Structure 1
Amino acid sequence: MSVVEIIHHDEVIYTILDKPPPEPPKTPRYESKLEKELKEAKRPQLRRTFGYAETPLKPPTQFLKKGEGIGQPIKETDHKCYVSGNLPPVPKRPPPGKKQEKPTTNFRLINIKKATKTKGKPVEPRLVDTRDGHIKKIKGSGEVPEYCLRPDFGQMPAYLTKRNRRIQKAIEKMKYAEDNKESLCKLISAEDRQKLLDDLKHNWSLMQKAFLQLPMLTDTIPKILRKTKLEAELRQLEKDIALVESNPYIYIYE
Structure 2
Amino acid sequence: MSIVEIVYHNENIYTILDKPPPEPPKTPRYESQLERELKQRKIPQLRRTFGYAETPLKPPEDFLKKGHGIGQPIKKSDHKCIVSGNLPPVPKRPPPGKGPEKPKINFRVVNIKKAIKTKPKPVQPRLVDTRDGHRKNIKGSGEVPEYCLRPDFGQMPAYLTKRNMRIQRALDKIRHAEETKESLCKLITEEERQKLLNDLKHNWQLMQKAFLQLPMLTDTIPKILKKTKMEQELKQLEKDIALVESNPYIYIYE
Specify if TM > 0.5. Answer: yes
Higher gyration radius (CA): 1
Determine the C-alpha separation between the residues in 1 that align with 2:219 and 2:239. 29
Q: How does 1:1-254 map to 2 (within 5 A)?
A: 49-50=47-48, 66-69=60-63, 73-74=68-69, 77=74, 86-90=88-92, 107=109, 111=113, 115=116, 120-254=120-254
Letter in 1 for 2:242: A
RMSD of aligned alpha carbons: 4.3
1:202-239 CA distances to partner (integer Å, 9 max, x unpaired)?
11111111122222222221111111111111111111
Give 1:197 shift.
Answer: 0.7
Give the distance between the partners of 2:131 and 2:244, measured in 1 at CA.
105
Note the residue ranges of structure 2 that are not aligned, 5 or more in a row: 1-42, 96-101
CA distance in structure 2 between the partners assigned to 1:165 and 1:192 by the alignment: 48
Give the Cα separation in 1 of the matches to 2:235 and 2:220.
23
Tell me the number of residue pairs that the alignment of Structure 1 and Structure 2 aligns: 195
Shift of 1:135: 2.5
Structure 1 gaps, min length 5? 1-44, 94-99
**For the residues of structure 2 that align with 1:57 and 1:252, how far apart are their CA atoms?**
103
2:238 aligned partner, one-letter code: E
1:12 corresponds to = none
- Structure 1 CA distance for aligned equivalents of residues 89 and 253 of structure 2: 93
Q: Distance in 2 between matches of 1:198 and 1:64?
A: 112
Say which SS state the counterpart of residue 136 (structure 1) adopts. strand
Distance 1:232 1:188 in 2: 27
Give distance in 1, aligned partners of 2:138 and 2:239.
91
Q: TM-score, normalised by structure 2?
A: 0.59
Work out the CA distance in 1 between the residues paired with 2:168 and 2:61: 85
Taking structure 1 as reference, are residues 101 and 185 closer, same or farther at Cα in structure 2, changes over 3 Å only? closer
- 2:199 aligns to what SS in structure 1? helix
Q: Distance in 2 between matches of 1:101 and 1:217?
A: 124
Provide the TM-score with structure 1 as the length reference. 0.59
Corresponding residue SS for 2:186? strand
Over 3 Å counting, the alpha-carbon distance change for 1:90 and 1:56 in structure 2 is closer
Give the Cα–Cα distance (whole angstroms) in 2 for the partners of residues 101 and 70 of structure 1: 40
More displaced 10-residue stretch of structure 1: 240-249 or 168-177: 168-177
State the distance in 2 between where 1:69 and 1:148 align. Answer: 77
